[in-house]
Chains A and B, each alone.
Chain A
Amino acid sequence: MDEHGDAAGTAVRTGPGDSGRTPVKYYQVGSFAVGNRLVALEQRTVQADPERSNALTSGHRACQGCGEALGARYVLDAAMRATGGKVVAVNATGCLEVFTTPYPETSWQLPWLHSLFGNAAAVATGVAAALAATGRDDVRVVAQAGDGGTVDIGLACLSGMFERDDDVLFVCYDNQAYMNTGVQRSAATPPGARTATTEAVGPDPGAPFGQGKDLPRVAMAHDIPYVATATVADLFDLEAKVETAMAVHGARYLHVLVPCPLGWQTASADTVRVARLATESGLFPVFAAVDGQVTSASRIRHRVPVEAYLRQQGRYRHLFPSEDRPGRPDVVARIQAQADANIARYGLLADGDGDGDEDGTRPPGSGVAGSGVAP
């Protein structure tokens, strides 16, 4: 169990001065609130620290409620904390690159290099090789890309980086489409979702079933030391996984689900909620794997049907009935079957049916088995 999960777990189980008294449950301590003042300083997220590095600082041009901006900020500040501020970031082309560097401004307060759309992993390999060759072993490398820059055009370079076990943490911010170019389908776009190239028209509206790549599993097939998934709904867990990743050398992969209000047609204020519904429906399994083997999965606390997740998003609107269309319950059922399969594959439900939170005290980042995995 990682430092954060362990510490938080201890903190929530008993109140102070517990000798002989009934333990007090602090429900808030087990919440997802990032600035929680009920927990000790070291258990709060990096973002609660006024001295944080602000690797991705304010002033960038992301849309309101952009999950990618949120995710990148947490990832990089956590990596900065884990390395004493010694991080070089390599960025693929995509929203994150564009909205952070409108010429002549930059939001990056760490050394940052953007080369091309499909080569972030290889560029990061070059950075790591140069650091090794010039004796700067204290500096670490994080590469980042959207789902397109990861699972599609960036896959060859990424697979090469994995296979050589280069000392790079590669982070995919998965918003499930090519957002920067106007919401086209990528191989990470889920079935049924409307994109500009999988329109909600014809007999099978939205993205097709039976296609797409599951990159965390592809990464695991390379037997690299650490693979994990996370979402912006559980930022404690995201930070813990970054810290775990930075404690290891070699090729590491972090796949972060980051809702995109523009592409998903969700309210800007709902980014975190939608991400949570993705995990609580079972559609996006949150887990960690060491040396190619799954070692932990975050259990679902309040299981919801996929419909609760899908209904939040305009990209699935065509699946639900309205005056002018009957809806597609058959498609919703197929998506539900995918969620059920994920739940079975990763054991996402606790002993019961997952419809309740057994004691309400489990810190979100820890899951049952602990989400951040000490390798």
Chain B
Amino acid sequence: MLRQLEGSRAIAEAVARCRPQVVCAYPITPQTHIVEALGAMVKAGELAPCRFVNVESEFAAMSVAIGASATGARAYTATASQGLLYMAEAVFNAAGLGLPVVMTLANRAIGAPINIWNDHSDAMAVRDAGWVQLFAESNQAAVDLHLQAFRLAESLSLPVMVCVDGFVLTHAFERVDLPTAEQVDAFVPPFVPRQVLDPDHPVSIGAMVGPEAFEEVRYLGHVKQLRALEEIEVVAAAFVDHFGRQGGGLVQPYRTEDADVVIVAMGSVLGTLEDAVDAARDRGRRVGVVGLTTFRPFPADALAGAVSGARSVVVVEKAFSTGLGGVLATDVTLALGGRTGVATVVAGLGGRPITQASLTGVLERACDGTLEALTFLDLDRAVVDRELARMDASARSGPSAENILRDRGERARGPR
């Protein structure tokens, strides 16, 4: 049924239709509306016998999810940014234990400086934790990926994180097609845990493993992720069967057929990119874009296939590895067999708008061969240079973020 909904509400309703049994959460912007909605549904008895646990931290939230999942309950939580880092130890633990927890990550920048707006630094910080990480392009995709996440997690016995751009998606009202409970029941079978704490069949879970077997256990995690590459496509195909629309998979190519330049990106920026590509095509530029719906496991073959004809590949990403460059770009380079000339455009950090005009500039330079290897989109380098000068001038130049903020403020006000 088509409804005009806030992204968070749509996600909450999608999760509710998957019949979670334990929902635990700790509030953090921009995740709050999702768990508030689920809390209300549980309290009203709409999700009975589901339990909602108001925990005292994200570390506890993931820990409750771990305990619940190991006891055979379908467990769900949601977080963002600082919350994800606060639960990081348990995030790795859930994956190491092979527990099919599903978590929404309302992507948000990481401080300091504290910032509540969207980028992908949080998701990238746990890319090696062993979770399946899916990225939603739109609120419809967010709904569709959550439905698939439970099925994927439970068939793989791996935790799945659905990454949804904070504010840009979580707080945007869009028309969303929400399937009925019956449709979801037919698509998401009841949870059959691979391992469960049961007094009738006692097992020990989480034992100490030394050098004699640790590598094998870790490698198994890798193999399970590689299997996930196949399972994601299987589940995506089943999704089409059940719901009659595309809504998942590994990569989404857009106008890449004869493209000389292909942009690679994840999340809500894809909409803007597709518009920029359309406009460039109208100008006669042969450009396309590949959206990664799946970031972990990394869909190397699917990506290589999608960009095989391109002269140059440009990664537009909302995170970067300080002292190196792109995070996603590094993965893309590796996936393309160490291909040279993969350019990185770091954009949208801390919620800075990524405009079609700026992206058009990127496309033009890429087509002309003048795009640098690493670009920080719309960066005001002069502001940074002035702070560097202050640091060189005085050993006690003060807190940089505050200096930069004051600098920008003063210049915005102009001379008084």
Contacts and interface: CB of A to CB of B under 8 A. Distances in A.
Whether both chains belong to one complex is answered with yes
Interface of A: 85-88, 90-91, 97-98, 101-104, 106, 108-116, 118-119, 122-135, 139, 156-157, 159-160, 163-164, 166
Given A123-B63, A156-B56, A86 B199 contact: yes
> Majority SS of interface residues in chain A?
mixed
Interface residues of B, number: 44
Contact of B49 (A86, A133, A164): A133
Given A103-B212, A115-B93, A134 B202 contact: no
A111 B193 CA distance: 15
A112 B71 CA distance: 10
B199 A87 contact: yes
A12 B341 CA distance: 89
A106 B205 CA distance: 10
Interface in B68-98: 68-73, 75, 89-90, 93, 97
B318 to A, nearest CB: 30
A23 B99 CA distance: 62
B15 interface: no
B183 interface: no
A129 B63 contact: no
Given A102-B208, A112-B202, A129-B51, A156 B21 contact: no
A135 B72 CA distance: 11
Interface string B193-220: 0000111011111111110110000000
11 contacts: A111-B202, A113-B205, A119-B59, A119-B89, A122-B64, A123-B70, A126-B66, A127-B71, A130-B73, A133-B22, A133-B49
B232 interface: no
Contacts of B56: 156-157, 159-160, 163
A64 to B, nearest CB: 20
Given A102-B208, A160-B57, A110 B67 contact: no
A45 to B, nearest CB: 22
Contact of B67 (A90, A106, A118, A164): A90
Given A103-B210, A103-B212, A116-B93, A125 B49 contact: no
B178 interface: no
Nearest to A139: B199
B60 interface: yes
A271 B50 CA distance: 46
A129 B64 contact: yes
B152 interface: no
B53 interface: yes
A106 B204 contact: yes
Given A103-B212, A113-B67, A157-B59, A129 B54 contact: no
A115 B59 contact: no
Given A103-B209, A126-B24, A115 B67 contact: yes
A323 B416 CA distance: 80
Closest 4 CB pairs of A and B: A126-B67, A130-B73, A114-B206, A130-B71
Question: Of residues B64, B202, B206, which shows the largest number of chain A Cβ atoms within 10 Å of its Cβ?
Answer: B64
B197 A113 contact: yes
A134 B63 contact: no
Contact of A108 (B63, B71, B202): B202
Contacts of A116: 63, 89-90, 93
Contact of A127 (B68, B89, B203): B68
B261 interface: no
B60 A127 contact: no
A128 B210 CA distance: 30
Contacts of B142: none
Given A91-B206, A126-B22, A126-B70, 7 more contacts: A101-B206, A103-B213, A116-B63, A119-B60, A123-B64, A129-B22, A129-B67
Q: Among the interface residues A106, A125, A164, which one has the most CB atoms of the partner chain B within 10 A? A: A125
B60 A156 contact: yes
B313 interface: no
A155 to B, nearest CB: 10
Nearest to A102: B208
A103 B208 CA distance: 6
B55 interface: yes
Contacts of A88: 71, 197, 199
B208 A130 contact: no
B66 A123 contact: yes
A115 B53 contact: no
Q: Looking at B54, B60, B71, which has the most chain A CB atoms within 10 Å of its CB? A: B71
Contacts of A135: 49
Interface in B28-50: 49-50
Nearest to A80: B199
Contact of B70 (A103, A108, A113, A164): A113
B65 interface: yes
Given A113-B197, A131-B71, A156-B57, A126 B65 contact: yes
B72 A134 contact: yes
Given A88-B197, A103-B210, A115-B97, A109 B66 contact: no
Contacts of A139: 199
Contact of B73 (A85, A129, A163): A129
A130 B68 contact: yes
Contacts of A127: 67-68, 70-71, 197
Contact of A130 (B57, B72, B213): B72
A113 B60 CA distance: 16
Contact of A126 (B49, B68, B199, B208): B68
Contacts of A98: 208
Nearest to B65: A126
Contacts of A87: 199
Contacts of B207: 101, 103-104, 106, 114
A106 B198 CA distance: 16
Contacts of B60: 119, 122, 125, 156-157, 160
B182 to A, nearest CB: 22
B127 to A, nearest CB: 20
Contacts of A91: 206
Contacts of A86: 199
B21 A133 contact: yes
A130 B199 contact: no
A302 to B, nearest CB: 41
A129 B60 CA distance: 13
Contacts of B204: 101, 106, 108, 111-114
B54 A115 contact: no
Nearest to A143: B67
A111 B53 contact: no
A180 to B, nearest CB: 11
A127 B202 CA distance: 14
A116 to B, nearest CB: 6
B53 to A, nearest CB: 6
Nearest to B87: A119
Interface centre among B51, B63, B70 (most CB of A within 10 A): B63
